Amino acid sequence: MLGIASPIRATGADRNRYHMALQIAEQDAPSLKTAAPVTGGDTTPVARPPIRERVVWAVLRLIQAGVAAMPLRWALWIGRRMGDLAHAAVYPRTRVALCQIEWALGNTLTPSERRAVIRGMYRQFGQGVVEFLRLPRMVEAGRLDELVTVEGEAFLREAHAQGRGVLILTAHYGNFELLATFFAARGYRANLVTRRLRNGVLDRFWAEQRRRLNIRAIFKEASLKEVIGRLRRNEAIGYVLDQNMGIDQGVFVEFFGRPACTLSAVAVLAKRFGSPVVPVFITRDPVDPTRHRIVFERPLAFESRGAQGARGDDADVVEQTQRYTAVIERRVRERPDHWIWIHRRWKTRPPGEAQGGDGVNKLGREGAS
């Protein structure tokens, strides 16, 4: 088991910020008894999208139809070739990935092994895209069990039985869209906290796919009120806890031995509501790429030590966020090609360090976001 590094001290500006935001949102959250019913919306005609967007949408639909019609193994082969193409075409991101994996795993992998991991990451992503395009047809036909085996699902049921809502801890690891689809297909009242894609057409296409799969999304810009209400309904809230955050949204914990600004919301909610945190990850079978394994881990109860010196309650939040991050690090070490090394995980630096001073800037302007 990977040891948990000592958490980094939260700054004075961080203290109680998350708890205050939570209290405000909780007060504003609609009561289950008094929430107003949804009435008719704005009837203003919606303007037709520009012709270019309609063409892109039609092309996406055509690609989806073609991928869904062919045998799965053929589609996965195409996905791997897409990954190879991306590996070469977005070389600036590949350089970022190689830089970060050297920092994280340079003492355990040779340069050739690190390059192989990054190529494998792109191939995993390509396969995940074609699988996502095929999922609506698979789910409608009741064939999801052909893709996944599940271990430890009893841990999720055990957490739900506590009646305080469930916080799902995962990462951009493996085919996480298939993982979200599993929750919906099994009938769990689960919600995914996510952000919108930068490209408007792709964002709408992805959102429609998720609606067809009954994946319930909570967008980050309005997430806190919704999260509180749904936890009160004993629903599950899924968080991917492996993204770089701004200083106003996260706390600094160790990830592969380096300070990484990490979303604190999971720890804050677990502390406030007593909701258990259930880690779950999905991995692709190394022998049969058509199969995936979903593994639920034992629920993590919030471990509170109370106020500790000047840090106050933030000490608990930082330490629990470190605990959750260590779970993700352990999984990434097991299957490093499953994680998104192209994301600048260490971009935000602790106070006192130059922002953007994670070392990636030396690669040039193309690695800056």
Question: pLDDT digits over 81-100, tens only?
Answer: 999 999 999 989 999 999 99
What would the pLDDT profile of 250-275 be if each residue is shown by its tens digit? 999 999 999 999 999 999 999 999 99
User: pLDDT tens, 146-188?
Assistant: 999 999 999 999 999 999 999 999 999 999 999 999 999 999 9
Alpha-carbon distance values, 273 to 41, 95, 144, 188, 270 (Å) = 33, 42, 33, 20, 6
- Is 35 or 160 the better-scoring residue by pLDDT? 160
Is residue 50's pLDDT more than 60?
yes
Residue 103 has pLDDT above 70, yes or no: yes
* Nearest CA among 235, 214, 330 for reference residue 283: 330
Give 24's contacts (C-beta < 8 A, 6+ positions apart). Answer: none
Q: Give pLDDT tens digits for 61-83.
A: 898 899 999 999 999 999 999 99
- Among the residue ranges 68-72, 211-215, 281-285, the one predicted with the least confidence is 211-215
What torsion, rounded to 10 degrees, do the Cα atoms 97, 102, 295, 218 define? Answer: -40
At residue 60, the pLDDT reads 83
More confident residue, 305 or 242: 242
- Cβ atoms 317, 266 nearer than 8 A: no
Checking if the pLDDT of 36 tops 60, the result is no
Could you report how far apart the first and last alpha carbons of the chain are, in Å? 33
Q: For residue 145, what pLDDT band results from cuts at 50, 70 and 90?
A: very high
Mean pLDDT of all residues in the chain?
84
Determine if the pTM surpasses 0.85.
no
Q: Please compute the mean of the pLDDT values over residues 313-319 and round it to a whole number.
A: 84
Closest of 281, 274, 270, 252 to residue 346, by C-alpha: 252
222-249 burial string, b = 16+ CB within 10 Å, else e?
ebbbbbbbbbeebbbbbbbbbbbbebeb
Q: Is 335 left (phi over 0), alpha (psi -120 to 50) or beta?
A: beta
Domain boundaries of the chain, sorted by first residue: 68-361
Q: Between the CA of residue 4 and those of 105, 256, 262, 318, what are the distances in Å?
A: 17, 10, 15, 12
Task: Tell me the mean pLDDT in the region 38-61.
Answer: 65
